């Protein structure tokens, strides 16, 4: 379990930051009329925030290089 956390720590932090950011965006900006599909619903804002946070923080992870076996 600890190896999983060590391997994916930056992505986990990204998801948590995205979830918090999505809720904060819903709470302070939101959509007053209810016609906005993402920001009018707190659950949708949280899910999209988590996805965005994962993708953003995934940019900063080091990718493992796979050898082609010709060495």
pLDDT of residue 63: 79
Q: What range does the domain containing 38 cover?
A: 10-58
Residue 5 domain flag: no
Q: What's the pLDDT tens digit per position in 3-48?
A: 988 888 999 999 999 999 999 999 998 887 878 888 888 999 999 9
Residue 69 domain flag: no
Residue 22 domain flag: yes
Residue 32 domain flag: yes
Q: What is the pTM of this model?
A: 0.80
Instruction: Return d(Cα 14, Cα 7) in angstroms, integer.
Output: 13
Residue 64 domain flag: no
Whether 18 and 58 have beta carbons less than 8 Å apart is answered as: no
Residue 26 domain flag: yes
Give me the number of domains the chain comprises.
1
């Amino acid at each position: 379990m600890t190896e999983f956390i060590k391997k994916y720590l930056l992505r986990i932090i990204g998801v948590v930051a995205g979830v918090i950011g999505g809720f904060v965006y819903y709470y302070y900006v939101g959509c007053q009329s209810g016609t906005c599909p993402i920001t009018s619903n707190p659950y949708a804002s949280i899910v999209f925030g988590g996805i965005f946070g994962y993708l953003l923080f995934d940019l900063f992870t080091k990718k493992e290089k796979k050898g082609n076996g010709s060495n």
